[in-house]
């Protein structure tokens, strides 16, 4: 029926100490008088930890099985350099991240040192691992290292967030997402229209997109010369349907026209509505598989003057042939 206090009244030169099957719950850390102790048997007590060898500098044999050791310290083998035999099996080991380092330490010492390994070293907690040998318990370093986990998840997440932010700023992704939604809704409505009606819906030869600042040239030069050839032109000021949204009117006019003519100029670049029209016309090109875009360069457009988010205009000007209005009329 001995308890922890027994360590305070032992002969200082004792070499072999057998205290198994008692009521010892802990070994006091300030025991400094047992420097010659070589063998310690504290089996079948209530010890919760493996004692370090800072107090027992000469300890070579430790018997501590059938106790309450659940999370043995991985530093045990570092502090007990002279240990030749450890019997610590049949304890209620908690197979969690804290046990991972101890299991690795056991794997680095001779199999003759750790007696009963691996048969008597089994998980008692959690329930899903109960009865599993410690040697078969594996958990990744990532799941055990909170800082590493945060870095592993946080860094890619931060990079993704920065990338998305840069794309949103540079390419104005929300603007394009809105356009995709509008286009999808219009195409969904178009699928419900019979083919005959769709064919009759092509009412114009061309839809003209231009900046209001270039309206004088469009109305005085372009439209008169086209309409005298019996070409039916669709213009926003006379063909947009009152009550509908501007975006829906743009889509409908493009849908009802065989071609879309774009009058390009520095003024066009500065007009967001012109880019809406260019975006939808370009989508219609891929959807219908037809070459329905006609580009007219009214005035030279320096490449550096085109905002980054309007990369579609950059691509079209770089890849497609356009008509250039001559400086000398």
Looking at the predicted structure, is the pLDDT value of residue 196 above 80? no
Whether 156 and 134 share a structural domain: no
pLDDT tens column, 239-272: 888 988 777 888 888 888 889 898 988 888 888 7
Residue 83 contacts residue 37 (beta carbons within 8 Å): no
- CATH number reported for the structural domain that contains residue 304 in this entry: 3.40.50.10140
3-class SS letters over 88-124: CCCCCEECCHHHHHHHHHHHHCCCCCECCCCCCCEEE
Q: What is the pLDDT of residue 149?
A: 65
Residue 198 placed within a domain: no
pLDDT tens column, 36-94: 999 999 999 999 998 888 778 889 999 999 999 999 988 888 888 889 999 999 999 99
Q: What is the pLDDT of residue 293?
A: 85
- Provide the residue range defining the domain that includes 66: 4-139
* Least confident interval from 10-24, 257-271, 313-327: 313-327
Residue 97 placed within a domain: yes
Q: Is the peptide bond before 263 cis (omega within 30 degrees of 0)?
A: no
Residue 246 placed within a domain: yes
Whether 154 and 95 share a structural domain: no
Residue matched to tokens 């997109």? 209
Looking at the predicted structure, is the pLDDT value of residue 200 above 60? no
Whether 226 and 310 share a structural domain: yes
Residue 12 placed within a domain: yes
Which contiguous run of DSSP H or E holds residue 39? Answer: strand 39-41
Residue 197 placed within a domain: no
pTM summary value: 0.49
As a whole number of angstroms, the distance between CA 39 and CA 187 comes to: 85
Residue 329 placed within a domain: no
Whether 8 and 132 share a structural domain: yes
Q: What is the pLDDT of residue 60?
A: 93
Whether 174 and 120 share a structural domain: no
Looking at the predicted structure, is the pLDDT value of residue 17 above 80? yes
Whether 168 and 208 share a structural domain: no
pLDDT tens column, 96-128: 888 888 888 888 888 789 999 889 999 998 888
* Positive/negative CA dihedral, 301, 307, 312, 314: positive
Number of domains composing the chain: 3
Looking at the predicted structure, is the pLDDT value of residue 189 above 70? no
Q: What is the pLDDT of residue 85?
A: 93
Residue 111 placed within a domain: yes
- CATH number reported for the structural domain that contains residue 36 in this entry: 3.80.10.10
Whether 99 and 160 share a structural domain: no
Q: Which has the closest alpha carbon to 95: 118, 121, 115?
A: 121
């Amino acid at each position: 029926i001995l308890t922890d206090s027994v360590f305070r009244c032992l002969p200082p030169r004792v070499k072999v100490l057998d205290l198994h099957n008692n009521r010892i719950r802990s070994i006091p850390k300030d025991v400094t008088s047992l420097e010659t102790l070589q063998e310690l048997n504290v089996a079948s007590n209530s010890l919760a930890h493996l004692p370090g060898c800072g107090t027992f500098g000469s300890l070579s044999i430790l018997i501590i099985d059938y106790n309450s050791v659940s999370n043995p310290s991985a530093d045990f083998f570092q502090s007990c350099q002279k240990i030749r035999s450890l019997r610590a099996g049949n304890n209620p080991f908690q197979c969690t991240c804290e046990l991972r380092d101890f299991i690795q330490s056991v794997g680095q010492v001779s199999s003759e040192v750790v007696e009963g390994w691996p048969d008597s070293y089994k998980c008692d907690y959690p329930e899903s691992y109960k009865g599993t040998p410690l040697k078969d318990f594996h958990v990744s370093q990532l799941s055990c290292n909170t800082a590493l986990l945060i870095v592993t998840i946080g860094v890619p997440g931060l990079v993704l967030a920065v990338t998305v932010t840069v794309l949103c700023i540079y390419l104005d992704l929300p603007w394009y997402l809105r356009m995709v939604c509008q286009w999808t809704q219009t195409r969904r409505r178009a699928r419900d229209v019979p083919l005959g009606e769709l064919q009759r819906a092509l009412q114009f030869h061309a839809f003209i997109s231009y900046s209001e600042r270039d309206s004088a040239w469009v109305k005085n030069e372009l439209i008169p010369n086209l309409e005298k050839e019996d070409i039916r032109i669709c213009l926003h000021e006379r063909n947009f349907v009152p009550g509908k949204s501007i975006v829906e009117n743009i889509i409908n006019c493009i849908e009802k026209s065989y071609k879309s003519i774009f009058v390009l100029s520095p003024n066009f670049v500065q007009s967001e509505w012109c880019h809406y029209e260019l975006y939808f016309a370009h989508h219609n090109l891929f959807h219908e598989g037809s070459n329905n875009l006609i580009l007219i360069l009214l005035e030279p457009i320096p490449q550096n003057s085109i905002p980054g988010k309007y990369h579609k205009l950059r691509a079209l000007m770089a890849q497609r042939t356009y008509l250039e209005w001559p400086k000398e009329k």
